Every structure is written in structure tokens, then in C-alpha cells.
Amino acid sequence: MNVIPCSIKTLKGLYDISGVEVGQHFYWQIGGLQIHAQVLITSWIVITILLGSVIIAVRNPQTIPTDGQNFFEYVLEFIRDLSKTQIGEEYGPWVPFIGTMFLFIFVSNWSGALLPWKIIQLPHGELAAPTNDINTTVALALLTSVAYFYAGLSKKGLSYFEKYIKPTPILLPINILEDFTKPLSLSFRLFGNILADELVVVVLVSLVPLVVPIPVMFLGLFTSGIQALIFATLAAAYIGESMEGHH
């Protein structure tokens, strides 16, 4: 007799975990600044996961790699190939930057999909993937934009700005606008896709039994990885473009 009430209670708990609170934030007041505390907390957790993985990877390297070392070497080789393909032969100094972007976004997205953040109660808002906050995606896009200009200026000096008046000065406003839209595009592409994926799961949980949204959640893991790959690929492509000096 108690089976049905228990089942309903269990499903209600799963529904609560899958819910999304929109427009609510948990703030910390630091000096005169208001900071989204939940984004900092989850970002620190992601950074801890990454640092812990690095420590494990370099703690005891072997000449003949073990399974764990093989995995980390494969990830490094993947990032190096990605950087080389998009940037060219001068890719070496940019591997750490592209790798950091890819791994941070990848682990952030997967943490949002796999970790039951809602179990941790906050006074306001809820914990979620860092990339689920527009401020995080804007910051990542601005870092990419700074790297983009730094790459061009470090290679060509002030002559880098000549590209804005080529092939004709008439294109100056369009070329400037293009550089400003690149970080905007990166930010909204990442934020929009992550938020849309979470909203789809919430709507499906509301409308149909839980067994249907579960495959969609696994699909979300795949698309989350793709979003990290797209962001890192475009960041590397922009850096390579600035070093080549053409659009």
C-alpha cells in the first residue's frame, strides 16, 4: 500500500533536482562589488577537479605509460593537434591557453549534467555549471579576444592594425565590427546552448515520465562536449587568423 506514495515522493524528489531557478542568484558582497557566489563556488570545484587530475597525471610518470597516463597523454595530444590545425606551425605557445579553455568548459558542462547540484541548498538561487551563467561565458570570450589581439600585436607590432583598412579603407567599420562580434558570438553560442539543454530536460521531466528524459540527459553530455570543442576550435582559429593577418 505504501509503494505508490513512496514512488510519487521519489519522482517528486527527482523532479525538484531537475528544476531550474531562473533569475535568482546568491550574492557575496566583497568591497563595493556584488559577486555571484554560486558561480564562484562551482568554478572553484571545477578548477579543483582539473588541478587534482593534473597532480595525479604528473605525480609518477612512466616511460611505458599506464592506462591513466595514456588517457592524459591522449588529451594533451588532442589539444596539440587542435591548436596546430587552427593556428599553424607557431601553435606551441598557445597550447596551454587553448587546452585551458577546452578543459574548463568541458568539465564545467559535464559537472552541470552529472553532479546533483540542487542537493546543496543555498539561501537564494541554486548551484549549476559555471557556463550556465552569462558572466562566465562573457569572461571566457573576452579572454579569447585579448589573446586574439595579443597574438597579432606580438607578431606584427602596430602594423597589425593595417588589416582594418585592407583591401580598402571603406571596409574599416565592417572590419572593426567583426572583431567586436567575435567574443559576442562565442559567449552567446556557449551560454545559449547550455541553457537550452537544461531547459529541454526540465520541460520533458514536467511533461513525460522520467524514463524519457534520461536518454536526453545522456545526449546533453555529448552536446556539452561538442560545445567545449567548438569554443576551443573557434578560439584557436581566431588566434591563427590574427597571426596570419587576413580574414
**74 CB-near residues (< 8 Å, 6+ apart):** none
Alpha carbon distance 50, 83 (integer Å): 20
Question: Quick check: 153 and 160 in contact, CB under 8 A?
Answer: yes
Query: In this structure, which amino acid lies at residue 106?
Result: F
Q: How far is CA 110 from CA 35, 72, 143, in A?
A: 24, 17, 22
Please state the rounded mean pLDDT for residues 9-31. Answer: 54
Counting Cα atoms < 13 Å in the Cβ hemisphere of 55 gives 6
Q: Which helix (H) or strand (E) holds 133?
A: none
- Summarize pLDDT for 133-185 with one digit per residue, the tens: 778 888 888 888 888 888 888 888 877 777 777 777 787 888 788 777 777 77
Residue listed under C-alpha cell 556557449: 190
Q: How many CB atoms lie within 10 A of CB 111?
A: 21
Length of the chain: 247
pLDDT band (50, 70, 90) for residue 3: very low
Question: Quick check: 158 and 74 in contact, CB under 8 A?
Answer: no
pLDDT band (50, 70, 90) for residue 116: low
Alpha carbon distance 120, 102 (integer Å): 27
C-alpha cell at 178: 567583426
Question: Quick check: 228 and 102 in contact, CB under 8 A?
Answer: yes
Is 36 in a helix, a strand, or coil? strand
The angle formed by the CA atoms of residues 131, 50 and 59, to the nearest 5 degrees, is 175
Report pTM.
0.76
- Summarize pLDDT for 176-230 with one digit per residue, the tens: 887 777 777 777 777 666 666 666 666 666 666 666 656 666 666 777 788 888 8
Please state the rounded mean pLDDT for residues 22-43. Answer: 73
Q: How many CB atoms lie within 10 A of CB 24?
A: 11
pLDDT band (50, 70, 90) for residue 103: very high
Alpha carbon distance 237, 121 (integer Å): 41
Distance spanning both ends of the chain, measured CA to CA? 70
- Summarize pLDDT for 67-102 with one digit per residue, the tens: 777 888 888 899 999 999 988 888 888 999 999 999
Alpha carbon distance 121, 141 (integer Å): 30
